[in-house]
Structures are given as C-alpha cells and as structure tokens.
C-alpha cells in the first residue's frame, strides 16, 4: 500500500465528475472526497508514529535527469494529509446550497487541486514537489477567475503573478540544489546530506523563502491575499486559506530550513521580525474592516504570522505548535468563511454595520458561530488554544519581548472577533436581519462537524501531537542551528 493511491484517486475522481450532470456532480464530488478521507483513515490506522517515512512509492520518472516519482508519509506529512482529506469533503458540503454554472468543471477543479496538494505534502523528490506546487495553483486560478466576484479577473491575475513569481524562485533553488548534489539527483534526503557552504545556503534560503513567504503569506508579501480571499467564490477561499497557504508553512519545515540551516541562522532575526510585524499590522487592519469576509482574511494573516514566528524560532514546541495549528487554523478559517457565506447568501451583504440581532431568529447558527469564534481566538478547550500556546512558548524561548508582541495576536483577535460577533448576532434586528432563517440540512451538518472538531481537538489534542512528535523531534535534533 503506497501513497500513490491517495495522490491519483482525486485525479481519477476529477475526470469522472466531468461526466455527471450539474446537480449530480456535487454528490459525486462529495462521494469521492469521502472515499479519499476513508483511505487516509486507513493510512492513519497503519501509520507507525516514529521518525521514519512510510507508504513510499519510488519509481523512475525521467531517468536521464535523476527525476523519480518519489513520495511517502512521515509524521509531518500525515498531519497535512489529514488536513487536506478532512477539509475537502467539508468544503464540498458547504457548497450544497449554491448553484454553480458548469458545476462539473467546478467540482473537478477542486478534486484536481486536492491531488496537487497531496503531491506537495508527500513529495520526496524536488522536481515532483515543484510539479505538485504548480498543479495545485492551476485549478485555483480557474476557480477564482471563472466563479469569483466582479473584480475577479484583475485580482486573480495579481494573485497568479505573485505566486508564479515565487514558484520561479523556488524552481531555481531546486535546480541549484540539484547541480550541487553529488550524483545529480533531486532526492530530498540527498539534498539534506549535501553539506553546502554558508554562501550556497544563503542562496538556497532566499530562493525557497520568497516562494513560501508569498504562499503563506508573510508580511510584506501578503498584498495579494485580502483581495483574492474576498473576490474568490467561498469554496475557493476555503481551499486557499484552509489548505493551500499551508503549502508555504510545510515548505519551510520540509524544504527550506533543513536544506539551509546556515541561512536560517543568518536571517532568523529578520524573518521573525517580519512575522511579528505582520501579526500587529494585520490585526490593526482587521479592526477597521466592515466586510466580514475581508476581516477574516486579515485575521488569517495574523495567525499565520504567529505560526511563522514559532517555526523560525526552531525548537520542538514551535514545530509541534505549527503542526497542530495548521490543522486547527484550517478548520477554523473554513468555518468562519462558511459563516459569512451563509450570511451573504441569505442577506446579500457582508457589511457588518448593516447587521444585528441575527441570534434571535437563528439560535443554532448563533451557537455554531460563537464556537467557531472562540476557536479562532484560542479560548482554552478549543482547538486554537494548544497550537497558539506552544507557538508562543517557542517564541518566548527565542526572546521574551518578541513573544510579548507576538502574543498581541490573541488579544487583538479576541477584541475584533468578539466585537464582530456582537454587532452581527446580538442587539436588535432590523428590516434586513428580521427574516434571517436558521441553518438546516447540509449547512447544519457542515457546521456541526466543524464545531465538533473545534471542541474535540481542544479537549484532547494529544492524538494529533503524537502523530508528528517523533518526526518533529528528529528534524529539530538533526538540524541543530545553535
């Protein structure tokens, strides 16, 4: 049993969905995504949580250039596989109340994007990693440009240029590593064992860092993100924020720091400062937002800034915090965007100032919204708490004053998120919100799953931490930058 099953099933499913009618296409896409989740569950049940790489497929691809289809799963990859296979069926379920023109193509692109994401999270070959990186970008470009808002073309072109430019730098970095590796191979572990000079590592660091910083996005490479999240169809925004931005975080852990530890040591202070600036900057901008979807977009930048700071502090707590926070952030941000999708679908507005009193007529929606908000602001016993606690612990070990500033993400987040909830859900109803209907059917199921995950992971996070612990510990001890 190899990881190739996980990678190729979404491709086959995407092709199959194209042959279904509009209404049937969403059911078929949900069916295939649930099957993919079940297969991931089988992999998890057979996974041994040590530092080894398992379920490996390693087949010659382009032999003359040392390129192999080489992929596998360790504890770090397993978290990302679970994130991807868990969120895709939830995202598809959230679309059930929508009617999309050319729905088969829409759902096929989501499934094809899932395949690209899984390639990124399991690739053990640099060339394969790059192919997966680009394969995930192409579907989201079409999703945003064909089904997005009225400014979708201009915004999507900006997004594509940003991410494609970053990808080009990464490709140059991969080729540079290939040329410096004995035996001329793109194998990840050969890259790890290729002891480059500090000067070479600095080149590799920046080649990878630019690509990953744009994808996360990290300040000041974030300018594409708020507009893209706002103009994309909600399912596309969920794929971008819930899963795709984790490609950048994962790339830092798997490809950047292990291949350029000297670069990390040299530029560590700079990157952590940028991350902390991003936390404060995005939080302040979030205070001023009246568009709910845009507020969540800036909130995501702040949370990713804390994850980046914890990773670049480079210790066990930071990496473990990043692993569980990537999963938690994906769940929470998908929940938040779904909340605003429900509001905008019913009321045809996302303007917070026009809302109020929704909780009176929609108690189930109000409860779900509150649970998602509490998870987002990292209330203890919700999924957001353990990750942010470990990340702040990591930054504290690096520098107490930097940790104090980074901790503002929790304080600021609580203020603007709870203020948003109060304005939208409490107070008196108006002519617009008086007719707001409570959630039902697929909406209630999707929100129920999200809320259960928020509470379940928050109460008992140990199984998630146990999956990645050995792989993270091995990576930290192997790549010792002190």
Q: What is the pLDDT of residues 298-328, one digit of tens each?
A: 888 888 899 999 999 988 999 999 999 999 9
Indicate whether 114 pLDDT > 90. yes
Distance, in Å, from the CA atom of 166 to the CA atom of 60, rounded to the nearest integer, reads 28
Interval 428-446 mean pLDDT: 87
- Which pair of structure tokens corresponds to residue 320? 């473990």
Indicate whether 482 pLDDT > 80. no
* pLDDT single digits (tens) 148-192: 777 777 788 888 888 888 889 999 999 999 998 888 888 888 898
| Mean pLDDT for the chain overall | 90
Indicate whether 100 pLDDT > 90. no
* pLDDT single digits (tens) 214-245: 888 888 887 777 878 888 888 988 998 899 98
Please say whether the dihedral angle defined by the alpha carbons of residues 439, 442, 448 and 454, taken in this order, is positive or negative.
negative
Interval 376-395 mean pLDDT: 92
Indicate whether 254 pLDDT > 60. yes
pLDDT at 481: 56
Indicate whether 1 pLDDT > 80. no
Confidence band of 391 (pLDDT split at 50, 70, 90) = very high
* pLDDT single digits (tens) 28-72: 999 999 999 999 999 999 999 988 889 999 998 888 888 889 999
Interval 437-459 mean pLDDT: 93
Interval 384-397 mean pLDDT: 92
* pLDDT single digits (tens) 277-288: 999 989 889 888
Indicate whether 403 pLDDT > 60. yes
Distance, in Å, from the CA atom of 135 to the CA atom of 314, rounded to the nearest integer, reads 30
Interval 463-474 mean pLDDT: 92
Indicate whether 290 pLDDT > 80. yes
pLDDT at 480: 63
């Amino acid at each position: 049993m190899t990881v190739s099953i996980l990678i190729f099933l979404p491709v086959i499913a995407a092709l199959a969905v194209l042959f279904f009618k509009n209404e049937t296409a969403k059911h078929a896409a949900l069916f295939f995504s649930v099957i993919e989740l079940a297969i991931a569950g089988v992999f998890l049940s057979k996974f041994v949580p040590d530092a080894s790489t398992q379920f490996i497929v390693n087949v010659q691809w382009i032999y003359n250039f040392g390129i192999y289809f080489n992929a596998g799963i360790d504890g770090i990859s397993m978290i990302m596989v679970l994130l991807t296979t868990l969120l895709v069926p939830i995202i598809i379920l959230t679309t059930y109340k929508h009617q999309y023109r050319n729905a088969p193509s829409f759902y096929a692109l989501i499934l094809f994007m899932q395949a690209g994401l899984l390639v990124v999270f399991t690739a053990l070959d640099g060339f394969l990693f790059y192919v997966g990186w680009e394969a995930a970008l192409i579907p989201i470009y079409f999703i945003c440009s064909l089904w997005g808002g009225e400014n979708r073309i201009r915004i999507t072109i900006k997004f594509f240029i940003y991410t494609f430019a970053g990808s080009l730098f990464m490709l140059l970095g991969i080729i540079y590593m290939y040329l410096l590796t004995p035996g001329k191979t793109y194998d990840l572990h050969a890259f790890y064992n290729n002891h480059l000079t500090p000067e070479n590592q600095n080149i590799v660091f920046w080649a990878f860092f630019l690509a990953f910083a744009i994808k996360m996005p990290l300040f000041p490479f974030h300018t594409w993100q708020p507009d893209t999240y706002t103009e994309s169809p909600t399912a596309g925004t969920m794929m971008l924020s819930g899963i795709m931005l984790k490609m950048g975080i994962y790339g830092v852990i798997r490809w950047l720091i292990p291949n350029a530890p000297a670069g990390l040591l040299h530029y560590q202070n700079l990157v952590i400062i940028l991350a902390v600036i991003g936390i404060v900057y995005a939080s302040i901008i979030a205070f001023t937002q009246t568009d709910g979807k845009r507020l969540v977009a800036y909130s995501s930048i702040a949370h990713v800034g804390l994850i980046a700071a914890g990773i670049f502090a480079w210790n066990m707590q930071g990496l473990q915090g990043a692993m569980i926070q990537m999963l938690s952030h994906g769940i929470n941000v998908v929940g938040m965007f779904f909340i605003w999708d429900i509001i905008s679908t019913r009321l045809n507005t996302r303007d917070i100032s026009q809302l109020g009193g929704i909780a009176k007529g929609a108690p189930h929606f109000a409860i779900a919204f509150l649970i998602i908000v509490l998870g987002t602001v990292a209330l203890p016993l919700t999924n957001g708490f353990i990750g942010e606690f470990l990340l702040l612990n990591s930054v504290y070990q690096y520098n107490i004053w930097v940790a104090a500033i980074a901790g503002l993400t929790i304080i600021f987040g609580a203020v603007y998120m709870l203020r948003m909830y109060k304005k939208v859900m409490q107070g008196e109803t108006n002519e617009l919100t008086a007719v707001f209907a409570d959630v039902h059917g697929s909406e209630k199921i999707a929100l129920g799953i999200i809320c259960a995950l928020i509470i379940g992971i928050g109460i008992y996070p140990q199984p998630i931490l146990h999956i990645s612990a050995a792989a993270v510990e091995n990576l930290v001890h192997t790549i010792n930058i002190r």
